[in-house]
Amino acid sequence: MGVSRGGFSSRFGFIMAAAGSAVGLGNIWGFPTQTASNGGAAFVLVYLVLAFCLAYPAFMAELLIGRYGQANAVSSMQKIARNTWQKRFGFVVGFGGIICAALILSFYSIIAGWMMSYAIEPLARLAGFAGAADWLINHSLIRNILFTAFFMGLTIFIIRRGVEEGIEKWSKRLMPMLIGLLILLIIYVFTLDGAREGFNAYLNPDISRVFEPDLLISALGQAFFSLSLGTSVMIIYGSYIAKKENLVTLGAQVTLIDVSIAFLAGLLIIPAMYVAQAQGVAIFAEDGSLISGSNLVFTVLPALFSGMGDVGLFVAFGFFVLMSIAALTSSISMLEGPVSYVVERHDTPREKATTFIGLGILVLSILIVINLEWMLDFVATLSTQYGQPIIAMLCCVFAGWVWHRSDILSEIKQGNEHVEHSLFWKIWPWYTKFVCPTAIGLVFWHSL
Ligand code: PFF
C-alpha cells in the first residue's frame, strides 16, 4: 500500500486482521453462553438480524471514517469536522473510543491469561508435573498476575512490529489455525454421546422469546462487542486499508465471518455441555437454566475433558489454545488504537509508545486482579455496557449528521465506482443518520 504510517498489504490481510479483532472470547465464550441463557436458537435468530441490520451499518461508519482520515481515530474524526464544535465532538468520540479499548484490554487480558494457563495445564500433566498442573488451574493471585503479564507481553510484542509485520502477519497465521481447531473440535464432540441432544437444544428456537426486551438488549450488546464497535478499533483498521478496496464488501465479509464463527462456536459449546451431562456433569443451574459464565468454561468443560481420559488432555489443550488465539488477535487490535494515537499525535516511535502504553494497561490489569471481586465486573460493565454503545452511537451521529453526504459518497466510490446505484447507498445514509442512533439509544436506555 506504500503509506509511511504502514497499512495492510493485501485484502486478505485486512480481512484476517479485522475478523481477528472481531472474533474473540465474545464469539467463542460470550455468544454460546448468551445463547444458552436466552432461549437457544431464538437468541441466535435475533442476533443474526441485529448483527446485519444494526451492527453492520455502524461498523461501516467506523471503517469509512478511518479510511477517509488515513490516521488515528481522533485525527480521522477531526479531518471530517469543519468547525471548532465539530472538532471537539470528533475528539470526544475518537478519544472516548481509545479509552474504551484500553479499558476493555485491561480486563480482557486477565481472562485471556486464564485461557493460557488452562492451555498449558494439560501439557504439564502429560509431562508428569502434576503439582505444576494443579497450580495452573487454581486461581491464585500470583498465577493471575503472571499470566496476565505474559499475555500482555505477547500483545506488546506483536504491536511493536507494526501493521504489516505485526498485526497482519500474525492475524494471517493465527486466524486459519483458529478456524481449523474449531472445526476439528466440533467434529470430535459430535462423535460423542449426548451431542445430538445439545445440537437440538441449540437449533430449536423458542420463538415466544424473540421479542423479549432482555433478549434484544443482550443480543445487541453481544453484536456490538463482537464487532469491536465503539472502541476506535475499526476506525484505525479502516485507515490502513488501501483506497482501491471495496469497503462495502470487505465490511460485509468481516461481519459474515464474525457471525459464522460465533454460530460455529455454539455448535461446539452447547453440544459439549450435553456430552458433559451424559457423563454425569451437572450442566443446569438451580433455576433450571444452562450453566453459563466462568463456571461453564472453567468448571463444566474441564470436567468434561477430564472424563475423557488421556484424549481429554489433547482436547483440553486444543480448546484453550483456540480461546487464547481468539483473545490474542482481539487484544492486538485494542492496543493498536491508543498506540496509533500516541505515535501520530505525539510523534513518538512505535516501539516506545507500545511498550509504554502496554505496561500502563498492565498496571491497571494488576489492580483489577488484586481487587477481582468487584473491579473486574465494574470495568467490564463500564466499558462494554456503557462505553461501547454510547461511542458507537455517537460515531453514527457523526457520520450521519456531521459528514457531508457527497463527501461520504466520494469516499465509498473509491474501490466501488457504481456504489451510487446500489442498495447499500440507497439505505445506509439515512439508516446511519436516523435508525442506528435511535435504535442503539433506545436499547441502551432500556438497559439502564
Ligand atoms: N470482538 C472481541 C470479541 O468478540 O471477543 C472483543 C473486542 C475486541 C472488543 C476489540 C473491543 C475491541 F476493541
* pLDDT at 4 (0 to 100): 66
228 lines ligand 1 (CB under 6 A): yes
Ligand 1 centroid to residue 126 C-alpha, Å: 33
pLDDT average, residue stretch 144-161:
98
- Closest of 170, 241, 228 to residue 6, by C-alpha: 241
Looking at the predicted structure, is the pLDDT value of residue 2 above 50?
no
Residue 448 — pLDDT band, cuts 50, 70, 90?
confident
- Closest of 22, 120, 31 to residue 329, by C-alpha: 22
Ligand 1 centroid to residue 226 C-alpha, Å: 5
Which tens digit of pLDDT belongs to each residue from 206-262? 888 888 888 888 898 899 999 999 999 999 999 999 999 999 999 999 999 999 999
388 lines ligand 1 (CB under 6 A): no
* pLDDT at 91 (0 to 100): 98
Residue pair 77/65 in contact by the 8 Å Cβ criterion: yes
For ligand 1, atom 10, the nearest C-alpha belongs to: 228
pLDDT average, residue stretch 113-128:
97
Rounded to the nearest angstrom, the gap between the alpha carbon of residue 263 and the centroid of all alpha carbons in its chain is 14
Residue pair 254/19 in contact by the 8 Å Cβ criterion: yes
Q: What nine digits make up the cell of 332? A: 492486538
Which tens digit of pLDDT belongs to each residue from 257-316? 999 999 999 999 999 999 999 999 999 888 888 888 888 899 989 999 998 989 999 999
333 lines ligand 1 (CB under 6 A): yes
pLDDT average, residue stretch 124-134:
97
Q: Which atom number of ligand 1 is nearest to the Cα of residue 233? A: 13
Looking at the predicted structure, is the pLDDT value of residue 1 above 50?
no
Ligand 1 centroid to residue 223 C-alpha, Å: 10
pLDDT average, residue stretch 115-136:
97
Q: Which atom number of ligand 1 is nearest to the Cα of residue 327? A: 5
Q: What nine digits make up the cell of 138? A: 487454581
Residue pair 330/115 in contact by the 8 Å Cβ criterion: no
State the chain's mean pLDDT as an integer: 94
* pLDDT at 3 (0 to 100): 40
* Site of grid cell 488432555: 313
Q: Which atom number of ligand 1 is nearest to the Cα of residue 27? A: 4
Ligand 1 centroid to residue 281 C-alpha, Å: 31
330 lines ligand 1 (CB under 6 A): yes
Looking at the predicted structure, is the pLDDT value of residue 39 above 80?
no
429 lines ligand 1 (CB under 6 A): no
For the chain, what percent of residues have pLDDT higher than 70?
99
Which tens digit of pLDDT belongs to each residue from 405-421? 999 999 999 999 999 99
